[in-house]
Amino acid sequence: MAKENPKENTKEQHKAANKKEHQAQKVQVTEARKGPVAPLPKGYKVRMSELYRTTVQPALMKDFNLTSPMAAPKMTKIVINIGVSEAKENIQALDMAKEDLTVISGQNPQVRKAKKSISNFKLREGMPIAVRVTLRGIRMYEFFDRFVSISVPRIRDFQGVDPRFFDGRGNLNIGLKEHHIFPEVNMEKSPKARGMNITFVTTAGDDKKGKALLEYMGMPFKKPEVKQANK
């Protein structure tokens, strides 16, 4: 009768233990990723949301003689678009733009495709050419806070946001030449500067109320030039 080797038994037990530990780690990772958003810390408050509720909303009601808080204009969503024209020839450029927009917004973006073919631009219908993300709620306020407090001061030769960027209904459209103003972007992985468009959608209904809302929340608008009278 062959004798059992104690060393071989020890190796088998060690492998079985490692396998169980690896499976347990996989289960833990899977459980941690459940749900659309990670749970917030207890007692966490969104700074911009609190600012709107305690300061901005009462100020808007006073300025425009509003009797109900529900009538005060508010921000409903922020839409961020990045066009990737080189994706027609290099699909990896689209993947890089998608990764950059993910770290900027904290949300997985949607790939936008061409609606019709244009031969002069070598564009075919259904070809992926851009990425877009729509932020609402907590992520919207968090992005607005980071954009105004950190990203805007990093814009080269910034003189303020032009009020003419409003669309007539109280929505502000800002075009950026470089997405590197966001500190979340890794310059080594994404060395090429990409332009992007950010739309701040509000319930204002007109530009005057929309400008007052965003100005109270910290958006730095360009001040009108004061012409000095000739002496």
Domain boundaries, the chain: 47-84+132-215
pLDDT given for residue 46 in this prediction: 85
What gap in Å lies between CA 63 and CA 212, rounded to an integer?
A: 9
Q: Please name which of 177, 210, 213 lies closest in space to residue 196, comparing C-alpha atoms.
A: 177
Per-residue pLDDT for the chain (231 aa), expressed as one digit of tens each?
A: 445 555 555 656 656 665 555 444 433 333 334 444 556 677 777 889 999 999 999 999 999 999 998 999 999 999 999 888 776 677 788 888 888 899 999 888 888 777 777 666 666 677 777 889 999 999 999 999 999 999 998 888 888 888 899 998 999 999 998 888 998 888 888 888 888 999 999 999 899 999 999 999 999 998 876 666 554
> Measured between alpha carbons, how far is 139 from 41 in angstroms, rounded to an integer?
15
Instruction: State the pLDDT at residue 5.
Output: 54
Give the tens place of pLDDT for each residue, 43-60. Answer: 777 889 999 999 999 999
Give the per-residue pLDDT at 188: 83
* Residue range 47-84+132-215, CATH number: 3.30.1440.10
| % of the chain with per-residue pLDDT over 70 | 74
pLDDT recorded at residue 224? 74
d(C-alpha 144, C-alpha 151), whole Å: 10
Q: Which two tokens stand for residue 213?
A: 């809302």
- Per-residue model confidence (pLDDT) at position 34: 41
Q: What is the pLDDT of residue 17?
A: 60
Continuous H helices in the chain: 6-32, 47-51, 57-63, 91-105, 137-146, 207-216
